[in-house]
């Protein structure tokens, strides 16, 4: 991908938008997001008032987990997306929303991609799951119907996952929630439906893109995600076989 982050092209308004969104979530997320998110945020050294420079972020990230952030033009197709992530390259958009779009976006911008995703990319076991799930998806990119199902796992974990240790209250690790002020409040409140993480249940559950989720799945640990990969692989292989027989 030849696109680069032209850092000097960011305007003061761009940096101000980052600063507003960053400050708002820094105040909002304590007590809602998992401690590992805050630890990751500290490790990657984002500045509150400046858009992160991908080169600087990668110098920190790569030695920790092998992952790096690569600039992407926006939403990339499934084959490109999963192939990048399977190779530990996380595609992130370089544009940031404008001042009048603070709360509503049709597609993810760099505040979502960078603030929401990158701190978690400091966690080895999370990264192992993410890369392996993407490698699995890559094997099925010729079958959009299979990818649709597999994407549900990605959606209900990486994007909208919650964490709930026994006896504790739910906490956020999904990037789509971490970058949304409204959904970060709703997802961990009493008002949302929370299920325990279950591969078959997730594969049977569609999701919405345009509004907040109506339900969430809670893991107890990132190891649980990693350990679920063989089960996901078996379920997806069975699904593919079923679909090919039709």
E-only strand ranges, 31-158: 68-72, 89-93
- Residue 114 binding Fe ion, by CB under 5 A: no
What x-and-dash track marks residues 167-206 binding Fe ion by CB under 5 A?
Answer: --------x-------------------------------
Tell me the torsion sign for CA atoms 38, 87, 14, 43. positive
Shortest approach of Fe ion to residue 168 CB, angstroms? Answer: 25
- Smallest gap from Cβ 112 to Fe ion, in A, equals 6
Q: Which is nearer to Fe ion, 161 or 163 (CB)?
A: 161
User: What mask of x and - would describe binding to Fe ion in positions 220 to 239, judged by CB under 5 A?
Assistant: --------------------
User: Residue 61 Cβ, how far from Fe ion at the closest point, in Å?
Assistant: 16
Report the residue number, 29 or 175, with the smaller CB distance to Fe ion.
175
Cβ atoms of residues 108 and 21 within 8 Å: no
Give the separation between CA 175 and CA 52, rounded to whole angstroms. Answer: 17
Distance in angstroms (rounded) separating the CA atoms of residues 178 and 75: 19
Question: Closest-CB residue for Fe ion?
Answer: 175
DSSP designation for 169: P
* Alpha carbon distance 128, 71 (integer Å): 21
Strands 171-172 and 162-163: antiparallel
Residue 225 C-beta: closest distance to Fe ion, Å: 16
Site of interaction with Fe ion (CB under 5 A): 175
């Amino acid at each position: 991908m030849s696109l680069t982050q032209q850092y000097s092209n960011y305007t003061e308004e761009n940096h101000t938008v980052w600063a507003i969104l960053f400050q708002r979530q820094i105040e909002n997320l304590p007590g809602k997001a998992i401690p590992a998110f805050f630890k990751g945020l500290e490790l990657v050294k984002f500045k509150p008032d400046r858009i992160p420079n991908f080169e600087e972020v990668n110098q920190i990230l790569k030695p920790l987990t092998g992952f790096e952030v690569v600039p992407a033009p926006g939403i990339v197709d499934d084959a490109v997306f999963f192939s990048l992530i399977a190779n530990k390259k996380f595609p992130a958009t370089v544009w940031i929303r404008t001042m009048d779009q603070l709360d509503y976006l049709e597609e993810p911008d760099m505040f979502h991609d960078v603030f929401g995703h990158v701190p978690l990319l400091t966690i080895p076991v999370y990264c192992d799951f993410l890369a392996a799930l993407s490698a699995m998806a890559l094997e099925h990119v010729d079958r959009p119907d299979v990818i649709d199902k597999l994407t549900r796992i990605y959606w209900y974990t990486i994007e909208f996952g919650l964490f709930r240790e026994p006896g504790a209250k739910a906490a956020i690790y999904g990037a789509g929630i971490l970058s949304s002020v409204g959904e970060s409040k709703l997802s961990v409140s009493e008002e949302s439906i929370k299920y325990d993480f279950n591969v078959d249940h997730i594969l049977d559950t569609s999701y919405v893109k345009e509004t907040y989720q109506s339900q969430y799945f809670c893991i107890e640990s990132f190891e649980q995600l990693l350990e679920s990969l063989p089960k996901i692989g078996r379920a997806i292989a069975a699904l593919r076989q079923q679909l090919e027989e039709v």
